[in-house]
Chain A
Amino acid sequence: MATTIEHPEKTIAEPQLLGFLAEFDNPHALIDASKKVRDAGYQKWDTHTPFPLHGIDNAMGIKWTILPWIVACCGLMGGTIAIGMQWYMNAYDYPFLISGKPLFSIPACIPIVFELSVLLAAFGAFFGMLGLNQLPKLYNPLFKSEAFRRATNDRFFISMDAKDAKFSEIDTGEFLKSLNPTNVEEFWSDVESPKLPRNLKLALSIVGVLMIMPPALVAYKRSTTTNTPRVHIVPDMDFQPSLKAQNTTDVFSDGREIRPNIKGTIPRGQFKDDNIPFYYGLKYLPEDQDVVTIAVQDEKKADAKPAEDKKAAAEKAPATKPAAADPAAAAAAAAKKLDELPWVTEFPMPVTAKMMARGKERYRIYCSACHGLGGEGDGLVTLRAMDLQQGTWVKPASYHTDNVRKLPVGRLYHTITNGVRKMPAYGPQIPPEDRWSIVLYLKALQKSHQIDANTISEEEKRKLRDTK
């Protein structure tokens, strides 16, 4: 030690006594020895056992650890973070309104609060334990002792640190020997400072460089401007091979990307146009197809207008008389226009007894309330309205006038579908088949009022007389 003045670097290299290591072969002996070391007043010493030895805490005088408090704090922190996060994210920064549920409510938060509390508390327990134990500490001079390797297997050790105030090279060694250990040895500091192996250094630097590269590339890309699009590692649906309207293509021989209708298919919403007699009661004339189409459109417009006009008229009526005349004229014009349309005169389907029965049933349900069971315009609603003398009520026309009798079936069908005057449109309520059935029954009613008694057979006459 005295020669250190000339070669100061050598003193650093000289090994120092770091402490003693006493070995025991059973836990009982270790605990007995520990009590003696504790009572002798040593502070910087430790025991090493292959498993947690219960009773050694007392024997060594180990104080309670603060770890539970660390864990409790971490757990509370986790819960607070969780509840704050959920409030901020779902109720404040990006309000999620789902089915009118409250934006923030404690019950829905509980699962996440619980999970994050447990997660952070577990981190607290694990890393808190490591921190308090000052681990990881891969280098430890004790590890150089061959005997100490059994500390994790089946041997029990006491280590005395030379830094302890009571430590002395001779006395402490004697003291340890008096505890009846199987062996006592000294442990020394290293002559050379530990160095990382060359290979490890190389490997670590390569890993370090590789780890820096991705963030460096991202940072570069984000901070530079470029004319070309970004790199699409996963393009998702950014680029699609689908064809677009108005473009040309080589895929089809006609070079068009937009495709014409395929033969035999019906475009959406045009199904009815393929059976105009049935759905509109109009004759289908191939040479006049456009006329018919226009007529159908006109009909729809004509149907929509009177309703509006009437409404307007009802409001204006007391103020200006001419305004009331206008809708009447418009209605007349519309009626005239309807007269000119090519209505079907035959039923666009086979007429059967079943259809007649259906028509009678439907007529009684939908029509008889106003028109009366016999079609004379004397339904119960009409009678009541007449009774009350309501000015707005227009009495339904009898079917048995020449005017109505002459109307083609298509026109009758149209009236049921779209209504006329006070009568509302029944198209939405009654399916087309039933409307035709009603027309059929209506025709039968008309016929029943105009028949010559002589043309009826005697049997029929008798039947009619008996029927009430």
Chain B
Amino acid sequence: MASVTAEPIDTTIEVPGKRTPLVTGAHDYGTVTDAVCRLAECKAPKAWYLALGVSACLMGMLFGLIGYLIITGVGVWGNRSPVFWGWPIVNFVFWVGIGHAGTLISAILFLFRQDWRTGINRAAEAMTIFAVVCAGVFPGIHIGRVWLAYWLFPIPNQMAMWPNFRSPLLWDVFAVSTYATVSLLFWYMGMIPDLATLRDRATGKIQQFAYGLFSLGWNGSSRHWHRYERAYLLLAALAAPLVLSVHTIVSFDFAVSQLPGWHTTIFPPYFVAGAVFSGFAMVLTLMIPARKICGIEDLLTDRHLENMTKVIIATGTMVGYAYAMEFFIAWYGGNRYETFAFINRAFGPYAWAYWIMVSCNVISPQLFWIKKIRTTPWMIFVVCVFVNIGMWFERFVITVTSLSRDFLPSSWGYFKPTIVDVLMLIGSFGLFMTLFLLFCKFLPMVAMAEVKSVMASPHDHGDDQPDIPDSHGQYQSENSDTE
């Protein structure tokens, strides 16, 4: 039987010449399945019911407010001259950004053969889907007359008109819907074998039917696996540039306009770095409590968390660099409006938001240089919450400061959100959490098949060699090039 070390080990210590196992504890294939399926098969812990109750209430509030907004009109928001892009757009960009970590973990880390992704990719992808759902809500209702949302799509209608394909807002429609679709396919395809596992273990009629339907009759055939892996690789290769393109296109909404503070070429890479940054923070914010509640610490080890904090340091520093570079270019570019926009950001009426953003996004992730903080889950959690707050404020600062102080002092104003704005943001978290909690309960939260394929067990690669690391600390696998 495949099994690994029985005694608990500290996965955050690097042992030269030996690869740290990705699964700790006395696990073999069967116990991994048991651990992951337990939540779907047993009664959920009290904490889950409590969390679901709270988030479902918040979600209900969001739907109520959407109804109110549709009946009354978008005037219930604080968007008005000169700030017509207020919280709804801030929330949209924020949520789209959150989604990026999921696809990044599953696609880019997959292409880079980062095996540690297997423990977190499923939940991260789920998070992507739910974040995109939350993001989609805002532009959807922002158009005011939601029943005419189909005008966004190139559908022949009675007015014999077509949308303008040179508008970044239309690119957004395509980018976000493609992103949502591809992420959903990627997530669902990765889940098919695990759904089959749940189907084969299900005892209730409803579970058997539902899991049976969605696992599409998967039977683990190696011929199927062969095509499946190829398809997964291709989807990952497609999703990787897609994830970069989506936030690039979202940033075009801003960068293609002429407004000082928006009209900059740094926006696409800067938005993407920020998105990955906030996305990883959100993954950690969710996974630290979730792995505790679901009891999957063996599959999602401290080492996984530590690796993610390293990504946060990298992207957080990129974001800090972008802030500095915006200032530098504003000065070096010699454009007075641009210079003013940035001085105004830091010292104008929204200085409070700017400095919240800087302290949360630039300073707080630097704490991860300290190993103690990097390896203590509750400390990671706290820092990640700050990062999420900071990234929301980043979008707020970009959107509101530029609009409220543009070229003409006669068109200046100060944006104030309404209570509906605030409650909708909170409600969107309710929607997000409800979906995530339902996912934790009813779907395989960890990609079982993938975890099993990277378990440090004898013959895991199916080769004839016993598992002895070579001089580079790598396990030999003669067939890995023929996979």
Query: Which residues of A come within 8 Å of B, CB atoms?
Result: 25-28, 30-31, 46-60, 62, 65, 67-68, 71, 75, 85-86, 89-90, 93-94, 96, 98, 101, 108-109, 111-112, 114-116, 118-119, 121-123, 125-126, 128-130, 132-133, 135-140, 142-143, 148-154, 157, 233-234, 236
| Complex contact B222–A46 (CB within 8 A) | yes
| Complex contact B449–A98 (CB within 8 A) | no
Which residues on B sit within 8 Å (CB–CB) of A128?
Answer: 231
Of B9-17, B297-305, B412-420, B450-458, the segment with at least 4 beta carbons within 8 Å of chain A is B450-458
**A-B contact list, 29 entries, CB within 8 Å:** A25-B1, A28-B458, A31-B459, A47-B222, A50-B449, A51-B448, A51-B453, A52-B225, A53-B225, A53-B462, A54-B462, A54-B477, A55-B477, A58-B482, A59-B462, A65-B227, A67-B230, A85-B165, A89-B163, A96-B164, A108-B165, A111-B249, A112-B165, A114-B245, A118-B245, A119-B182, A137-B216, A149-B201, A153-B200
Kindly provide the distance from the CB of B118 to the nearest chain A CB, expressed in whole angstroms. 10
Tell whether B161 is near chain A: CB-to-CB under 8 Å.
yes
What's the Cα separation between A94 and B159 when bound, in Å?
11
| Complex contact B235–A115 (CB within 8 A) | no
Which residues on B sit within 8 Å (CB–CB) of A59?
Answer: 462
| Complex contact B29–A154 (CB within 8 A) | yes
Which of A52, A58, A123, A143 interacts with B229 by CB under 8 Å? A52
Tell whether B185 is near chain A: CB-to-CB under 8 Å.
yes
Which residues on B sit within 8 Å (CB–CB) of A96?
Answer: 162, 164, 166
Which residues on A sit within 8 Å (CB–CB) of B30?
Answer: 153-154
What's the Cα separation between A90 and B175 when bound, in Å?
19
A125-B238 in contact given A54-B480, A111-B174, A118-B182 (Cβ < 8 Å): yes
| Complex contact B245–A115 (CB within 8 A) | yes
- Interface flags, B442-483, vs A, CB<8A=1, else 0: 000000111011000011111110000000000001111011
Chain A, residue nearest B166 (CB): A108
- Interface flags, B95-123, vs A, CB<8A=1, else 0: 00000000000000000000000000000
Which of B185, B226, B239 interacts with A62 by CB under 8 Å? B226
What's the Cα separation between A120 and B400 when bound, in Å?
37
A98-B482 in contact given A25-B1, A67-B231, A153-B201 (Cβ < 8 Å): no
Which residues on B sit within 8 Å (CB–CB) of A53?
Answer: 222, 225, 453, 462
Which residues on A sit within 8 Å (CB–CB) of B160?
Answer: 94
Tell whether B422 is near chain A: CB-to-CB under 8 Å.
no
| Complex contact B216–A130 (CB within 8 A) | yes
Tell whether B45 is near chain A: CB-to-CB under 8 Å.
no
| Complex contact B166–A94 (CB within 8 A) | no
8 closest A-B pairs by beta carbon, nearest first, are A55-B462, A55-B479, A136-B216, A154-B29, A129-B231, A28-B459, A89-B162, A149-B200
Which residues on A sit within 8 Å (CB–CB) of B224?
Answer: 133, 135
Kindly provide the distance from the CB of A220 to the nearest chain B CB, expressed in whole angstroms. 18
Chain B, residue nearest A108 (CB): B166
Of B189-197, B319-327, B344-352, B371-379, the segment with at least 4 beta carbons within 8 Å of chain A is B189-197
Interface residues of chain B: helix, strand, loop or mixed (majority):
helix
Chain A, residue nearest B170 (CB): A112
Which residues on B sit within 8 Å (CB–CB) of A101?
Answer: 166
Tell whether B140 is near chain A: CB-to-CB under 8 Å.
no
Which residues on A sit within 8 Å (CB–CB) of B72?
Answer: none
Which residues on B sit within 8 Å (CB–CB) of A153?
Answer: 29-30, 33, 197, 200-201
| Complex contact B181–A55 (CB within 8 A) | no
| Complex contact A48–B217 (CB within 8 A) | no
| Complex contact B462–A138 (CB within 8 A) | no
Which residues on B sit within 8 Å (CB–CB) of A58?
Answer: 479, 482
- Interface flags, B235-257, vs A, CB<8A=1, else 0: 10011011001000100100000
Which of B196, B221, B223, B235 interacts with A125 by CB under 8 Å? B235
Residue with the highest number of chain A CB atoms closer than 10 Å, among B161, B165, B459:
B165
| Complex contact A67–B234 (CB within 8 A) | yes
Which residues on B sit within 8 Å (CB–CB) of A151?
Answer: 200, 219-220
18 more contacts with CB within 8 A, not counting A85-B165, A152-B200, A154-B29, are A26-B2, A51-B193, A51-B449, A51-B450, A54-B479, A57-B222, A85-B154, A89-B162, A111-B245, A114-B245, A122-B238, A122-B239, A126-B235, A133-B223, A136-B216, A138-B213, A138-B217, A151-B220
Which of B175, B219, B221 interacts with A143 by CB under 8 Å? B219
What's the Cα separation between A71 and B217 when bound, in Å?
23
| Complex contact B228–A52 (CB within 8 A) | yes
What's the Cα separation between A115 and B231 when bound, in Å?
19
Residue with the highest number of chain B CB atoms closer than 10 Å, among A56, A86, A139:
A56
Tell whether B307 is near chain A: CB-to-CB under 8 Å.
no
Kindly provide the distance from the CB of B184 to the nearest chain A CB, expressed in whole angstroms. 10
Which residues on A sit within 8 Å (CB–CB) of B225?
Answer: 49, 51-53, 56
Kindly provide the distance from the CB of A88 to the nearest chain B CB, expressed in whole angstroms. 8
| Complex contact A129–B228 (CB within 8 A) | yes
What's the Cα separation between A88 and B15 when bound, in Å?
62
Kindly provide the distance from the CB of B294 to the nearest chain A CB, expressed in whole angstroms. 19
Residue with the highest number of chain A CB atoms closer than 10 Å, among B220, B234, B245, B478:
B220
Chain B, residue nearest A236 (CB): B145
Which residues on A sit within 8 Å (CB–CB) of B482?
Answer: 54-55, 57-58
| Complex contact A122–B463 (CB within 8 A) | no
Kindly provide the distance from the CB of A355 to the nearest chain B CB, expressed in whole angstroms. 32
| Complex contact A68–B230 (CB within 8 A) | yes
Kindly provide the distance from the CB of B478 to the nearest chain A CB, expressed in whole angstroms. 8
What's the Cα separation between A51 and B2 when bound, in Å?
14
Which residues on B sit within 8 Å (CB–CB) of A48?
Answer: 219-222
Which residues on A sit within 8 Å (CB–CB) of B216?
Answer: 130, 135-138
A51-B452 in contact given A65-B227, A114-B245, A153-B33 (Cβ < 8 Å): yes
| Complex contact B196–A65 (CB within 8 A) | no
Chain A, residue nearest B249 (CB): A111
What's the Cα separation between A56 and B477 when bound, in Å?
13
Tell whether B332 is near chain A: CB-to-CB under 8 Å.
no
Tell whether B331 is near chain A: CB-to-CB under 8 Å.
no
Kindly provide the distance from the CB of A159 to the nearest chain B CB, expressed in whole angstroms. 8
A94-B28 in contact given A27-B459, A52-B229, A115-B175 (Cβ < 8 Å): no
| Complex contact B460–A27 (CB within 8 A) | yes
Tell whether B150 is near chain A: CB-to-CB under 8 Å.
no
- Interface flags, B424-450, vs A, CB<8A=1, else 0: 000000000000000000000000111
Chain B, residue nearest A101 (CB): B166
What's the Cα separation between A123 and B182 when bound, in Å?
8
Which residues on B sit within 8 Å (CB–CB) of A46?
Answer: 221-223
Which residues on A sit within 8 Å (CB–CB) of B162?
Answer: 89-90, 93-94, 96
Tell whether B178 is near chain A: CB-to-CB under 8 Å.
yes
Which residues on B sit within 8 Å (CB–CB) of A25?
Answer: 1
Kindly provide the distance from the CB of B452 to the nearest chain A CB, expressed in whole angstroms. 4
